[in-house]
Every structure is written in structure tokens, then in C-alpha cells.
């Protein structure tokens, strides 16, 4: 094989990484370079330095160390049977690219993943070496996310956590059956165990040490995972059930949903169609309901026939329409928990309502000024001088709201 | 118009610069303390006029003005907004805050809303500057220097410069904007006058690599142009090296996506067969020869890893099998692993395990010499946010898992089994037992196995009253002492 230039390698190994959903650079410890005199900082909130025309944020240099891989997961462009062009970065290449991009303010840091070559430990060892060199030799203070390989040794995970902000292990698909079918060499049992070990390590390191009473640094941005949506037949209810299990079991910061995207030279076991982007979007909304709105997983799709999220309306509105008996809610009296269940009221708006109503009673117009749109929430609230009357129970309510919200729709 | 307004505005305040917060604060303080209404004040930015003799009346002696602390810091942000009305708005808010100290909490008030909107706009502009500044590298006589040209919507350079210092401490850089510039030489930050785009370097060799990345990280099958433009409005594009590629990427996206879908699966790549042969030919170790006859506890433990006898494996992390020497005289049987046990893969290591250990210790029993296991070997729970709430295994789950417990009993052959709680008793004796009534008793099974009945140690943990908790702990300790006597 002819030697590839750095640019050619970058083209191949960023193309290979683009099916990965996560690009977050948030949630780590605060850090800057004032003391070290180096380069790089993280300040809690991540920064998106650019946006690709697919609407996705470009925050990190998201690349694979190599796209050679011994696994043959049918949904993956880099599976061993795929005819995609292959390349491999040296540790040097990745360190140089990261620093060159970071100095020009193109990125927040590095998200390094890799195909598995030869052995999990060998691949993971090189990824850890990239992180080590960035931190120790380049005095790099930016964000580092390492995708860890489930089968690698505990010692490598320990070292990875020392340098990285976030570690992640992909669950791949929502069910073990799906993994067995589409990624026959991957072991769901091993993936669970790796997540459990990572959680144990993060908790262990969060405790101050006996001797120095300080906390050792270990993946301050926690762990996350990703699952592919639409490659197998799992329903949204099944997907959310898996998420609820993962959040509660392994203290994940995030579960990413990645709409299965057709890949060139794809396996015939898979759907050849445009990725289900709206479904992905609705899953994220439902995920938010579980994490920030006090919804139990089982509630979100309770009462639906097929366990699928409504693509035309957001999951909270769909839930409210199925549970009209709980509405209307009085914005001047209701609890925070109940206000959070009103369609169209986000967490911030609810907090503003609670703050403002200590000083004056809210009218419908006031709520309208705080929220984005009044059309969606009007039938579900009572305010000073406003009652929805029979509106809440009208059979055509769904249609009415959908029509008035259409102009605001995301797609 | 101008003269009309001036006629109503006897007080004309000139500020030294667009972001002269100290000047605004000083003037606003004097005006408010002299009870001068907002309608009577006009605000202008005029550096030369600001230097002239102060015309405002001095604040009365010992007078003081109280405002919420947050107002000051938020006003510092709002003053960076480009709206010329901001000085008047801030003064009006200050004026109103004297009578309405909670004003800022009333989110529906039009002045407050405007204030918040400006604060948000400044914050967003600062955030976008942090995102979209693009440095270009040049060589100077002092080594490398990074220079950027940026066009902010508001007066944010001074306010934002410290961010770039914190981030790019180890390099020398300059950010040029139309109204001001910021420069860092590795030691000190200096704010200078505005510049023109032509003052910044026109290119950087790294941009070709950056464009390569931008082009390839884009997935044409997911085209969402509106979402991109919402976050990266076109006004920023002219200073972003990657933005030049966007029109072509959009135009070619449909074609590229169609091609991705249409490209038929081909023959496996040539190295595939080799990789398969090399890495995946090892047969699954415990799938073979599993006839249910195991000759050691280790073999049962291995076999139980893949247990599918009931649905509990689905949500749990792993099978938590019993642990202890194969010749242990006594076997403790609990209910099921908990959150900690599920993660660690070992029985009785969580909070209940710690209580259990401490009491065994007090009773003089060495846990290392006992075999500790559970009636059910997968953790059953309900997810609740970031936590897992223990749920009690049902009869069929206990029944299914008895298969493993029986193997453990058969191979370890303990002289005494201690049932910790009702679930363990159910599994060991095959019927429901009222533990509180029968605790401390030894029941002999038909096969001659002696089963000592007591509570589960987690019961102690759940007692809220400290005195009662200690009493219960004492009773459990007595039970363990009885076990110790039975052992010898």
C-alpha cells in the first residue's frame, strides 16, 4: 500500500468516525492553563466550534486511531468485511493534529476512538499513549474523550481515566439479542461488566484518599454510551427501558441515540434507507423527560399500542393528551412537579414561573411571554383570568395543536 | 427632535467608552441619590465630553443606595450590548429597584424582560466569539504568533479576553475586531484600538487540514441545513475557513446520500477471512459440555455466568454467585445481590454486607471460613433516575434459582445453613416462613440439612429509630453467637 499523506489519513479516519453521535465536551472539571503555562481549558459548558450541514455540532476532533478492525459488526462502516479504504494514524499524527487544531481554536479537544487491531490491549494502549502525551508532554488542558474497548485490561482503563475527561463504552444496540445478531463477536456481558467496572472506578476515585485527603483525578466528565436506533426492531419503549437501566445502573452522564445511517458497502442484513432522524430526536426528548422532568420510564409510552413515540408531536404533549384527566394545571398554584408535566413548559420556564408567582399572579399573557409558544400549553393551564373550559377534553385537540405549532416545527 | 428631547433632559451624561461601566455606575448613583427621574437623563458615549468637568450634582453625604448584588454583575454584562438605549434601561431599572427591590425576580415585567434579553444576547455573542474566533499562525522576530480577525455583534472584546488568556496561556496571540483588539504576549494582556480585516493574516497552512476534517465529518444522509444555520448564522461565515465548503456540501448531499444507500453490498474485503480465522475461531468456553453435572463449585460458578433460567439476567450486570471455601462448615444464604453486589460481582459487599461482616466479627465468626451466597443470583430492581430500587424476587424467580443453590449445597456440603430472611427460608425450605416468629430456630430438612432461621441484615439498616436499631443489631448478634455454638 502506498504511504498515505496526513491529509489522506485524516479524510479516511474522520469519515470513519462520523457515525458516532457524541461530540459533547461538557460536564468535566474546570481547568485552565494559567498555572501550567500550557494550552487548553475546560469551563463546564462545552463549546461547539463549528456546525456541519447535518446540523451537528463540531466540538471535538473526532477521529479513529485506525479503521482496521477485527470485528465484523454489520452496522459499522469499519467492520472487517467492509471494502472501505483503511488507514492508521501514528500517535504522533494524532497529537500533532490535536494541538494544531486547538491552537487555532477549531476545537475543544479530542474524541479518540479506534477499530480494534490485533488485540484490545494493544489498541487501547496506543489511545492511552496519545492522551498521556497530550497531557504530559504538550501540557494540553483541553477536553479528551476516549472510547474504551470493553475487553481491555483494568490497568489501561485506570491510566485512561487519569488523562481523559470522559470515557465511554458503546452498548451498540438496545438489546443483547440485537448485539448477538448484528455484532456477533461482541459480548453484551462484557460490555455490561466494563461499564460496571468503570462506575466502580469512578466512585472509588471520587473518595478522598486516606493519606493525602485529596481526590485522584479520574474521568471527571464521567462515562457515557451510545446505541444505534433503527438497525434492529426494538421499539422506543424497549430503547427507553434500556436507557433507564443504564442510567440507574452505571451512573452514565449521557446515553446517545444514533439513528442508523446507511453506510456505503453496507451489509444486506440492514435497512437501506435514510436515517430515522425524527425518531432519534423524539428519543432524546423522551430521555430528557426521564432525566429532568421527573417522568418514570414506564409512564412515557403507557397507553400506546405499539410502544412507539409519536413522530408528529413531542413526547410530553403526547403524554398529556393521553392523560387529560390531570389537566388543566393552575400555574399560580401547582407544584413544580406538575408544572414540569405541562406541554410547552421547560425546566427554565417552570423555575421562572415559580419565582415570579411569589410576587404577582400570572395571567395567560405572562406565561406566553416566558414560554416559547402559547398554542401548545393554553389548553393545559389555568391562569389569572384564563380557563381552558372544555378545550382540554376536545377530541380534535391534538389536530388543533399540531396545526398551530407547525410553523415552529424543527424540520 | 433632538432639541425637543434635550429640553426634557436637563441631565446629559457622557460616558468615556461603549463599555464604561464605572462611569455609568458613578453617574447613575449620583442621579438616583438626587432623586432624578429616568426621563430627565440622556446618555451618550463621548470620550472627550466625559473628560470635562463633572456637571452632575454630588450625592448627599452618607446617603446610600442598595441594590441586589446580582444587579451589578448583570449590568456589567448588559452594558456591553450594542443597543444605545442600554444605559437608559439600566438607569430605569436602578431607579425602580429602589422601590421594588424584588423587581428582577418578576420575569414578566417588560423592563426586566428587555434586561434579560440583552444579557442573554451579550452572553450568546461572547459564547459565539469563543467558538468562532479562528487564529492564523505567523512567524515574527519573537517566534510564532497567532492572529485572529473577528466581528462581534456587541462590545465584548474586553469582557471576553480573559477567557482566551485562560485557554491560550502558553501562546502569543492577538484578536482583532472593528472596535477593539486584545493581545497576549504570554505574560500580559493588552487592550488596543480597533483594526481592519486586512490587518490580519490571510491564510494558514493548517486550514486545508481543517477543511478536510469538516468535509469528512459531515454525514450527507443527515442533511439539516436549518439546524446548522440556527447555531452558526451566516454572518459568521465570512471569517470561518470551513464555511466556504458549505454550499457545495449541501448541493451534493442528496446525491451523496443516494449513492451511500445505493451502493450494493460487495464481496467481503480480502483481509476479512484472515481476521476471522485468526481471532474468532476459539469456541465459546462454557457453551460446551454443559450437562448440569458439575464436579466443583468453580465449575458451577462458571456455568452460572450465562444463566437464563429466569428473566432477571436481562437488567442485571452479572450473576453474583456464592463465595467461600469448598469445605466451609456453615453456609449463609441471603436474598439477592443489591446494587453494590451487582457491580462488584461478590455477595454481601454493600451496606448490608458491611453490617453482616461487623456482626460476624463481634460473634467471633471468621467470614473467610464460611460460604456466603444468595437465594437469587441476579439483582432485581426498578430504575429510579440515577438509582436502582431493590425489588423482591417473586416465587418463580426463587424457584428458578434454587437450581443453583441446590448445586452449591450439594458440592459444599455445609453442616449448617443459615437462612437470612424470608426469601432464603422460602428457597431452602420450599415454603413461606414467618421469620419474626421462628427466628433463632433450627429446622431440619428431610435430607437432614439443618437450617437456622434469622432475619436479613438489611432489616437492621431499615430501622429509623437508633435505639431500636441497636436492639435489633443485638438480637442478630445473639443469633450469630448461636450459629457459632452450633458450628462447634
Q: Is A1 on the interface with B (CB under 8 A)?
A: no
Minimal Cβ distance to A53: which of B131, B228, B383: B228
Cα(B350)–Cα(B343) distance, integer angstroms? 10
Share of chain A above pLDDT 90, in %: 74
Got the DSSP string for B52-111?
SPP-SPPPPTT------HHHHHHHHHHTTSS-TTHHHHHHHHHHHHHH-TTGGG-TTSHH
Contact A50 B242 (CB under 8 A): yes
For residue A230, is it within any domain? yes
Distances (CA, A) of B194 to A330, B183, B197: 53, 12, 10
B277: closest chain A residue by CA: A70
Cα(A366)–Cα(B110) distance, integer angstroms? 10
| Claim to verify: residue A51 and residue A173 sit in the same structural domain | yes
The domains found in chain B, sorted by start residue, are 2-118 (no CATH), 133-199 (no CATH), 218-257 (no CATH), 297-487 (3.40.470.10)
pLDDT at B176: 98
- Domain edge (last residue) among A267, A299, A332: A267
pLDDT at B2: 44
Segment B268-278, tens digit of pLDDT: 888 888 888 88
Minimal Cβ distance to A104: which of B204, B278, B381: B204
| Claim to verify: residue A319 and residue A247 sit in the same structural domain | no
- The terminus-to-terminus CA distance of chain A in angstroms comes to 44
Cα(B335)–Cα(B436) distance, integer angstroms? 16
| Claim to verify: residue A256 and residue A339 sit in the same structural domain | no
pLDDT at A1: 54
- Domain edge (last residue) among A232, A267, A302: A267
Does position B174 have pLDDT exceeding 90, yes or no? yes
| Claim to verify: residue A261 and residue A322 sit in the same structural domain | no
- Those residues with Cβ within 8 angstroms of residue A250's Cβ, 6 or more apart along the chain or in another chain: A195, A196, A198, A199, A223
Segment B71-90, tens digit of pLDDT: 999 999 999 999 999 999 99
| Claim to verify: residue A145 and residue A242 sit in the same structural domain | yes
CB pairs < 8 Å spanning A and B: 254
- Of A178, A298, A245, the C-alpha closest to B315 is A245
Contact A51 B385 (CB under 8 A): no
**CA-only gyration radius of chain B, Å:** 38
| Claim to verify: residue A116 and residue A238 sit in the same structural domain | yes
Identify the weakest region by mean pLDDT among A216-230, B27-41, B107-121, B285-299: B285-299
Q: In this structure, are residues A188 and A132 in contact, taking their beta carbons and an 8 Å threshold? A: no
Q: Is A193 on the interface with B (CB under 8 A)?
A: yes
- Report the complex ipTM: 0.92
For residue A193, is it within any domain? yes
Q: In the 8-state DSSP scheme, what is residue A209? A: P
Sequence-ordered strand ranges (E) for A230-284:
254-259
Name the average pLDDT for chain A: 91
Interface probe with B: pick from A22, A53, A353, most Cβ of B within 10 Å:
A53
| Claim to verify: residue A45 and residue A115 sit in the same structural domain | yes
Strand duo B416-420 + B330-334: pairing = parallel
Contact B108 A366 (CB under 8 A): yes
| Claim to verify: residue A86 and residue A220 sit in the same structural domain | yes
| Claim to verify: residue A18 and residue A158 sit in the same structural domain | yes
- Of A120, A116, A117, the C-alpha closest to A157 is A120
Contact list in A for residue B253 (CB cut-off 8 A) is 53
Which residues in chain A (96-125) have CB-CB distances under 8 A to chain B?
A: 97, 100-101, 103-106
Cβ count within 10 A of residue B414: 21
Q: Is A267 on the interface with B (CB under 8 A)?
A: yes
Q: How far is A326 from chain B (nearest CA, A)?
A: 22
Return the SS3 of B344: helix
| Claim to verify: residue A75 and residue A139 sit in the same structural domain | yes
For residue A95, is it within any domain? yes
- Locate B27 and state its grid cell: 453617574
Cα(A215)–Cα(A206) distance, integer angstroms? 6
- Of B167, B175, B239, B251, the C-alpha closest to B207 is B239
Q: How far is A96 from chain B (nearest CA, A)?
A: 11
| Claim to verify: residue A216 and residue A131 sit in the same structural domain | yes
Domain, as residue range, for A383: 315-408
- Locate B236 and state its grid cell: 459568521
Cβ count within 10 A of residue B271: 14
Segment of B67-71, B100-104, B347-351 carrying the highest mean pLDDT: B347-351
Q: In the 8-state DSSP scheme, what is residue B381? A: E
Minimal Cβ distance to B221: which of A106, A262, A369: A262
For residue A375, is it within any domain? yes
pLDDT at B294: 87
- Domain edge (last residue) among A247, A267, A287: A267
Q: How far is A290 from chain B (nearest CA, A)?
A: 7
Does position B299 have pLDDT exceeding 90, yes or no? yes
Share of chain B above pLDDT 90, in %: 80
Q: Which helix (H) or strand (E) holds B477?
A: helix B466-487
Contact A49 B253 (CB under 8 A): no
Domain CATH code at residue A35: 3.20.20.70
Contact A105 B134 (CB under 8 A): yes
For residue A371, is it within any domain? yes
Q: In this structure, are residues A409 and A278 in contact, taking their beta carbons and an 8 Å threshold? A: no
Q: How far is A100 from chain B (nearest CA, A)?
A: 7
Does position A408 have pLDDT exceeding 80, yes or no? no
Cα(B346)–Cα(B338) distance, integer angstroms? 10
| Claim to verify: residue A256 and residue A365 sit in the same structural domain | no
B239: closest chain A residue by CA: A50
Q: In this structure, are residues A67 and A78 in contact, taking their beta carbons and an 8 Å threshold? A: yes
Identify the weakest region by mean pLDDT among B21-25, B214-218, B360-364, B484-488: B484-488
pLDDT at A263: 77
Cα(B113)–Cα(B109) distance, integer angstroms? 6
Q: Is A244 on the interface with B (CB under 8 A)?
A: yes
For residue A297, is it within any domain? no
Contact A356 B240 (CB under 8 A): no
For residue A201, is it within any domain? yes
- The terminus-to-terminus CA distance of chain B in angstroms comes to 106
Q: How far is A343 from chain B (nearest CA, A)?
A: 20
Q: Which helix (H) or strand (E) holds A229?
A: strand A223-229
For residue A285, is it within any domain? no
Minimal Cβ distance to A356: which of B106, B168, B280: B106
Helices (H), B147-245: 157-167, 206-217, 225-231
Confidence grade of residue A118 (pLDDT, cut at 50, 70, 90): confident
**b/e per residue, B78-107, with b = 16+ CB within 10 A?**
bbbbbeeebbbbbbbbbbbbeeeeebbbbb
Contact B216 A104 (CB under 8 A): no
Interface probe with A: pick from B70, B167, B287, most Cβ of A within 10 Å:
B167
Structural domains in chain A (count): 2
Q: Is A19 on the interface with B (CB under 8 A)?
A: yes
Segment A351-361, tens digit of pLDDT: 999 999 999 99
Contact list in A for residue B105 (CB cut-off 8 A) is 355-356, 358-359
Segment A2-56, tens digit of pLDDT: 689 999 999 999 999 998 877 788 888 899 999 999 999 999 888 999 999 998 9
Quickly tell me which residue has 496519545 as its cell: A130
Count of CA atoms in the C-beta half-sphere (13 A) of B136: 19
Amino acid at each position: 500500500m502506498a504511504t498515505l499523506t496526513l491529509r489522506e489519513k485524516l479524510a479516511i479516519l474522520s469519515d470513519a468516525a462520523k457515525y458516532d453521535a457524541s461530540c459533547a465536551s461538557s460536564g468535566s472539571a474546570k481547568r485552565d492553563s494559567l498555572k501550567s503555562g500550557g494550552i487548553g481549558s475546560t469551563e463546564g459548558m462545552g463549546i461547539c466550534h463549528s456546525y456541519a450541514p447535518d446540523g451537528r455540532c463540531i466540538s471535538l476532533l473526532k477521529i479513529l486511531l485506525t479503521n482496521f478492525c477485527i470485528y465484523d459488526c454489520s452496522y459499522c462502516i469499519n467492520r472487517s468485511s467492509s471494502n472501505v479504504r483503511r488507514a492508521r494514524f501514528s500517535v504522533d499524527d494524532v497529537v500533532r493534529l490535536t494541538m494544531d487544531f486547538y491552537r487555532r481554536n477549531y476545537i475543544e479537544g479530542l474524541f479518540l476512538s479506534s477499530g480494534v487491531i490485533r488485540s484490545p490491549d494493544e489498541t487501547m494502549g496506543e489511545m492511552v499513549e496519545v492522551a498521556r502525551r497530550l497531557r504530559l508532554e504538550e501540557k494540553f488542558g483541553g477536553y479528551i474523550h476516549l472510547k474504551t474497548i470493553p475487553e481491555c485490561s483494568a490497568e489501561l482503563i485506570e491510566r485512561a481515566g487519569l488523562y481523559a475527561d470522559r470515557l465511554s463504552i458503546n452498548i451498540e444496540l438496545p438489546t443483547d439479542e440485537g448485539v448477538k445478531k448484528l455484532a456477533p463477536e461482541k459480548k453484551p456481558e462484557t460490555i455490561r461488566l466494563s461499564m460496571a467496572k468503570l462506575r466502580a472506578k469512578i466512585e472509588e476515585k471520587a473518595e478522598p484518599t486516606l493519606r493525602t485527603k485529596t481526590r485522584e483525578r479520574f474521568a471527571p466528565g464521567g462515562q457515557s454510551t451510545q446505541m444505534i436506533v433503527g438497525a434492529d426492531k426494538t421499539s422506543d419503549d424497549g430503547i427507553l427501558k434500556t436507557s433507564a437501566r443504564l442510567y440507574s445502573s452505571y451512573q452514565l452522564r449521557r446515553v446517545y441515540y444514533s439513528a442508523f445511517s446507511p453506510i456505503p458497502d453496507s451489509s444486506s442484513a440492514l435497512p437501506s434507507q435514510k436515517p430515522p432522524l425524527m425518531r432519534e430526536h423524539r428519543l432524546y426528548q423522551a430521555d430528557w423527560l426521564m432525566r429532568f422532568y421527573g417522568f418514570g420510564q414506564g409512564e412515557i409510552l403507557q397507553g400506546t399500542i405499539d410502544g412507539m413515540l409519536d413522530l408528529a408531536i413531542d413526547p410530553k404533549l403526547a403524554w398529556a393528551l393521553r392523560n387529560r384527566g390531570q389537566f388543566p394545571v393552575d400555574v399560580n398554584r401547582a407544584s413544580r412537579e406538575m408544572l414540569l408535566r405541562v406541554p410547552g413548559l421547560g425546566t427554565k420556564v417552570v423555575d421562572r414561573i415559580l419565582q415570579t408567582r411569589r410576587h404577582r399572579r400570572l395571567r395567560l399573557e405572562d406565561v406566553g411571554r416566558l414560554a416559547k409558544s402559547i398554542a401548545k400549553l393554553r389548553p393545559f393551564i389555568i391562569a389569572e383570568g384564563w380557563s381552558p373550559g372544555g378545550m382540554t377534553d376536545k377530541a380534535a385537540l391534538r389536530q388543533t395543536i399540531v396545526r398551530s405549532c407547525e410553523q415552529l416545527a424543527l424540520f | 427632535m433632538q432639541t425637543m428631547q434635550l429640553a426634557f433632559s436637563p441631565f446629559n451624561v457622557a460616558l468615556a467608552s461603549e463599555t464604561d461601566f464605572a462611569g455609568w455606575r458613578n453617574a447613575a448613583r449620583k442621579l438616583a441619590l438626587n432623586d432624578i427621574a429616568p426621563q430627565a437623563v440622556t446618555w451618550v458615549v463621548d470620550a472627550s465630553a466625559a473628560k470635562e468637568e463633572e456637571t452632575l450634582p454630588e450625592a448627599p453625604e452618607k446617603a446610600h443606595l442598595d441594590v441586589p448584588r446580582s444587579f451589578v454583575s448583570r449590568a456589567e454584562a448588559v452594558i456591553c450590548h450594542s443597543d444605545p438605549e442600554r444605559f437608559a434601561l439600566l438607569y430605569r431599572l436602578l431607579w425602580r429597584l429602589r422601590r421594588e427591590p424584588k423587581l428582577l425576580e418578576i420575569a414578566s415585567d417588560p423592563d426586566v424582560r428587555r434586561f434579560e434579553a440583552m444579557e442573554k444576547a451579550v452572553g450568546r455573542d461572547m459564547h459565539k466569539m469563543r467558538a468562532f474566533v479562528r487564529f492564523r499562525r505567523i512567524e515574527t522576530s519573537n517566534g510564532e504568533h497567532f492572529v485572529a480577525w473577528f466581528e462581534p455583534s456587541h462590545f465584548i472584546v474586553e469582557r471576553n479576553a480573559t477567557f482566551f488568556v485562560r485557554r491560550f496561556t502558553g501562546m502569543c496571540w492577538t484578536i482583532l475586531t472593528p472596535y477593539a483588539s486584545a493581545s497576549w504576549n504570554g505574560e500580559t494582556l493588552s487592550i488596543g484600538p480597533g483594526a481592519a480585516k486586512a490587518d490580519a493574516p490571510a491564510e494558514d497552512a493548517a486550514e486545508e487540514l481543517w477543511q478536510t476534517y469538516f468535509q469528512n465529518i459531515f454525514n450527507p444522509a443527515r442533511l439539516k441545513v436549518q439546524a446548522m444555520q440556527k447555531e452558526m448564522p451566516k454572518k459568521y461565515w465570512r471569517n470561518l475557513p470551513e464555511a466556504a465548503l458549505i454550499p457545495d456540501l449541501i448541493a451534493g448531499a442528496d446525491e451523496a446520500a443516494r449513492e451511500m444507500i445505493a451502493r450494493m453490498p460487495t464481496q467481503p474485503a480480502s483481509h476479512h477471512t484472515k481476521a476471522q480465522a485468526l481471532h474468532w475461531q476459539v469456541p465459546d468456553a462454557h457453551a460446551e459440555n454443559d450437562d448440569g453435572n458439575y464436579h466443583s463449585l468453580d465449575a458451577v460458578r462458571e456455568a452460572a455466568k450465562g444463566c437464563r433460567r429466569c428473566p432477571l439476567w436481562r437488567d442485571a450486570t452479572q450473576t453474583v454467585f456464592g463465595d467461600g471455601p469448598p469445605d466451609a462448615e456453615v453456609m449463609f444464604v441471603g436474598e439477592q445481590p443489591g446494587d453494590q453486589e451487582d457491580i462488584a460481582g461478590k455477595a454481601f459487599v454493600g451496606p448490608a454486607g458491611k453490617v453482616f461482616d461487623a456482626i460476624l466479627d463481634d460473634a467471633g465468626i471468621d467470614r473467610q471460613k464460611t460460604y456466603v451466597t444468595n437465594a437469587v443470583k441476579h439483582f432485581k430492581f426498578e430504575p429510579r433516575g440515577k438509582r436502582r430500587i431493590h425489588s423482591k424476587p417473586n416465587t418463580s424467580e426463587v424457584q428458578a434459582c434454587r437450581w443453583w443453590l441446590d448445586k452449591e449445597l450439594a458440592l459444599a456440603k455445609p453442616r449448617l445453613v443459615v437462612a437470612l430472611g424470608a426469601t432464603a427460608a422460602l428457597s431452602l425450605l420450599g415454603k413461606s416462613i414467618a421469620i419474626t416468629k421462628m427466628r433463632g430456630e433450627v429446622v431440619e430438612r428431610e435430607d437432614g440439612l439443618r437450617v437456622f432461621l434469622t432475619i436479613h441484615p438489611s432489616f437492621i439498616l431499615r430501622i429509623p429509630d437508633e435505639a431500636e436499631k441497636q436492639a435489633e443489631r443485638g438480637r442478630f448478634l445473639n443469633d450469630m453467637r448461636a450459629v457459632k455454638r452450633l458450628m462447634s
